[in-house]
Amino acid sequence: MFASRIKTQLLLISLAPLLLVMLLVLGFLVGTTRDGIEEQVQNRGDEIAAQIVSMSEFFFYTGDMEKLSEVVELMINIDELISIKFSDAKGRILLARELDSVNQTIRTFRIAIRNQDPLVDELIELAATSEPATILGYLHIGISEDRITTQLQAFYIRTLLIGLVALLLGVVLAYLMSRKMTSALSSLAVTAREIELKSLTARCPENGHGELLELQHIFNEMAESLERNEQHMLRRIEEATRSLNASVDELSQKNEELAKQRQEAIELERSKAISDERARIMKDMHDGVGGQLVSSLAIIERESDSEARNNIAATLRECLDDFRLIINSLNVNANNLDAIMADFKYRLDKRIKSLSITLHWQIDPKADQITLQPQQALHLLRILQEATTNIIKHADATRISISLQSDGDGVQLMICDNGNCRLLGRNEYDASVSSEGYGLTNMQWRARQLKGTISFLNNEPSGLCVKLILPEFVIH
DSSP 118-160: PPGGG-B-TT-----TTEEEEEEEEEE-HHHHHHHHHHHHHHH
pLDDT at residue 139 in the model: 84
C-alpha span between 383 and 23 (Å, rounded): 112
pLDDT at residue 431 in the model: 42
Q: Which of 4-8, 59-63, 160-164, 219-223 has the lowest mean pLDDT?
A: 4-8
Q: Which of 3-7, 112-116, 258-262, 437-441 has the lowest mean pLDDT?
A: 3-7
pLDDT surpassing 90 at residue 181: no
Tens digits of residue pLDDT in 422-461: 876 554 444 443 444 557 888 999 999 999 999 999 988 8
Considering only CA atoms, which of 260, 276, 466, 472 is closest in space to residue 383?
Answer: 466
Q: Return the higher-pLDDT residue of 320 and 412.
A: 412
pLDDT at residue 125 in the model: 43
pLDDT at residue 476 in the model: 53
What is the crossing angle of helices 307-330 and 374-390, to 10°? 150
C-alpha span between 190 and 192 (Å, rounded): 5
Question: Predicted confidence band at 284 (pLDDT cuts at 50, 70, 90)?
Answer: low
**Which neighbouring-strand residues pair with 85?**
96, 140
**DSSP three-state, residue 196:** helix
Largest CA-CA distance found in the chain, in angstroms, rounded: 195
pLDDT at residue 328 in the model: 63
The topology under which CATH files domain 2-156 is Beta-Lactamase (3.30.450)
C-alpha span between 68 and 59 (Å, rounded): 6
pLDDT at residue 397 in the model: 92
H or E stretch including 404? strand 399-406
pLDDT at residue 123 in the model: 41
pLDDT at residue 428 in the model: 45
Q: Which of 77-81, 125-129, 291-295, 340-344 has the lowest mean pLDDT?
A: 125-129
pLDDT at residue 294 in the model: 62
Sketch the domain layout of the chain as residue ranges: 2-156, 351-474
**Which neighbouring-strand residues pair with 84?**
97, 141
pLDDT at residue 432 in the model: 42
CA distances from 226 to 104, 232, 240 (A): 79, 10, 21
pLDDT at residue 165 in the model: 85
DSSP code for 24: H
**Arithmetic mean of pLDDT, 329-343:** 73
Q: Can you give the pTM of this predicted structure?
A: 0.40
Question: Predicted confidence band at 418 (pLDDT cuts at 50, 70, 90)?
Answer: very high
> According to the per-residue pLDDT averaged within each range, which of 172-176, 285-289, 407-411 is highest?
407-411
The topology under which CATH files domain 351-474 is Heat Shock Protein 90 (3.30.565)
Q: Return the higher-pLDDT residue of 417 and 131.
A: 417
pLDDT surpassing 90 at residue 401: yes
